Amino acid sequence: MHNTLTRVQNVFGFFTSVAFAVAAAIAMSVLLSPQTPSASLELRNVQVVKGRPHYYSTKREEYAHVKFDLDADLTSLFSWNTKQLFLYITASYPSSDPTIIPPSEAVIWDAIIPSDYAPLHPNTYIHPTSKTAPKPKKSAKGKGKKEVGKPYPAGASPGIVRLDNQKPKYQITDVSGKIAERENATLTLHWNVQPWVGALVWTNTKTVGRWQGLQGGEAKFAFPPLKGTEVKKDDLKTETGGERNRGSPA
Amino acid sequence: MDQLLEQARTVYEGEIDFEGQRLAELLTYALLSISGVVAFLAGFVTQDIYQTLYIGLGGTALTFLAVVPPWPFFNQHPQPWLRAKTGPGALQGFNIEVDGQKVS
């Protein structure tokens, strides 16, 4: 500590140790905040039609278009160390030989739900406003400015998701190109809790310490037979997030 | 010119005495540890991680400010060094005997 340079090195060196210790304490502190996630996920409609993987493809595959209702309360997943929640719904169906081949799983919808403290990002999910709810009044000051939507319903807090007859983000198919008339399929809600510091936490269905497992968030269904041109193209639209319509077949 | 360079070196190196070094080390550990604990608690109580970030960084900046410059309170106990052995005034006031003979 005898001269300036040594003191700079010593202070900075000990600062890194303190920063690491504080970060570790923050990462561990999330274990203290109780979690009681619950969700009700229901299938609204599923249709299977022929489609192309992309516009110029000559290949014709079967695509399933799954609409669903979701009513989830995941507010307890937002602790002080939660940066954002990545929420996604998969459709899974057993393989031809379940003893050898694991079931197939495909994501039909996802959303990034940021905490109130997270900085704005163009990919951020914006919760649809319900048709019955009154529209926010336009203030004279904010004219010309676009109303910035919230990732949760008006008056709620992060983690509340109320989706009614929600379009999927992605139409799904199987590697074989055949997805019609498959039995024992399941819609499942999953999430990743992305912290500011610490470990990424995946969906827990079992109770661990103060963290309760997810209640509900599953729906059984079966893929219907293939439909032809009687299905309107309007009914097969996908939801586009902030990241545009990635993954939707032409 | 030599004097000027000597002054520049003193400012640049910013040396402090032994007692000052002990104090500087104590300050480093105490201030940084306290700011770390306070930052965590403040953030945990308010449930706002930005509080932790800014209090932690603020405490670190304060520590740098308190410890790095050679403040006068780090130089309150100058060491009474022995006199120079060479040059003008060397070996003055010492009685050095070699084989019973006074040499200085």
What pLDDT does A144 receive? 41
Asked if A22 reaches chain B (Cβ–Cβ under 8 Å), the answer is yes
Instruction: Give the mean pLDDT of A201-222.
Output: 92
Compute the Cα dihedral for A128, A131, A137, A143 and give only its sign.
positive
Q: Looking at the predicted structure, is the pLDDT value of residue A250 above 50?
A: no
**Position A20, amino acid:** F
ipTM: 0.80
The predicted-structure confidence for A139-192, as pLDDT tens digits, reads as follows 444 444 444 678 888 888 899 999 999 999 999 999 989 999 999 999 999 999
Which of B50, B52, B68 is nearest residue A11 as measured by Cβ atoms? B68
Looking at beta carbons, which pairs linking A8-11 to residues 24 or more positions away fall under 8 Å?
A8/B64, A8/B68, A10/B25, A10/B28, A10/B67, A11/B28, A11/B32, A11/B60, A11/B63, A11/B64, A11/B67, A11/B68
Asked if B51 reaches chain A (Cβ–Cβ under 8 Å), the answer is no
Q: How confident is the model at residue A131 (pLDDT cuts 50, 70, 90)?
A: low
Residue B15 CA to residue A7 CA, distance in Å, equals 10
Q: Looking at the predicted structure, is the pLDDT value of residue B104 above 80?
A: no
Q: Which chain A residues are Cβ-neighbours of B43 within 8 angstroms?
A: 26, 80
Question: Using an 8 Å Cβ cutoff, are B13 and A3 in contact?
Answer: yes
Residue of A nearest to B28 (CA): A11
The predicted-structure confidence for A24-66, as pLDDT tens digits, reads as follows 999 999 999 999 999 999 999 999 999 888 888 898 999 999 9
The predicted-structure confidence for B11-45, as pLDDT tens digits, reads as follows 889 999 999 999 999 999 999 999 999 999 999 99
Residue A13 CA to residue A3 CA, distance in Å, equals 16
Report the side by side order of strands in the sheet with A38-51.
Answer: A160-166, A61-73, A38-51, A215-216
Q: Where are the domains of chain B?
A: 15-69
Residue A31 CA to residue A195 CA, distance in Å, equals 12
Question: Using an 8 Å Cβ cutoff, are A49 and A63 in contact?
Answer: yes
The predicted-structure confidence for B47-75, as pLDDT tens digits, reads as follows 999 999 999 999 999 999 999 999 999 99
First-residue to last-residue Cα distance in chain B: 35
Tell me what the pLDDT averaged over chain A comes to: 87
Residue A171 CA to residue A166 CA, distance in Å, equals 13
Question: Using an 8 Å Cβ cutoff, are A111 and A70 in contact?
Answer: no
The strand pair at A185-195 and A201-202 is best described as antiparallel
Residue A65 CA to residue A48 CA, distance in Å, equals 6
Question: Using an 8 Å Cβ cutoff, are A180 and A48 in contact?
Answer: yes
Q: Which chain B residues are Cβ-neighbours of A29 within 8 angstroms?
A: 44
Helices and strands (H, E) in chain B, number of each type: 3, 2
Please give the structure tokens belonging to residue A140.
């004279």
Chain A interface test: which of B34, B38, B41, B44 (most A C-beta within 10 Å): B44
Q: Which chain A residues are Cβ-neighbours of B35 within 8 angstroms?
A: 18
Please give the structure tokens belonging to residue B37.
């604990």
Compute the Cα dihedral for A160, A166, A168, A169 and give only its sign.
negative
What pLDDT does A81 receive? 94
Residue of B nearest to A20 (CA): B36
Residue A210 CA to residue A36 CA, distance in Å, equals 9
Alpha-carbon distance A8 to nearest alpha carbon in chain B (angstroms): 6
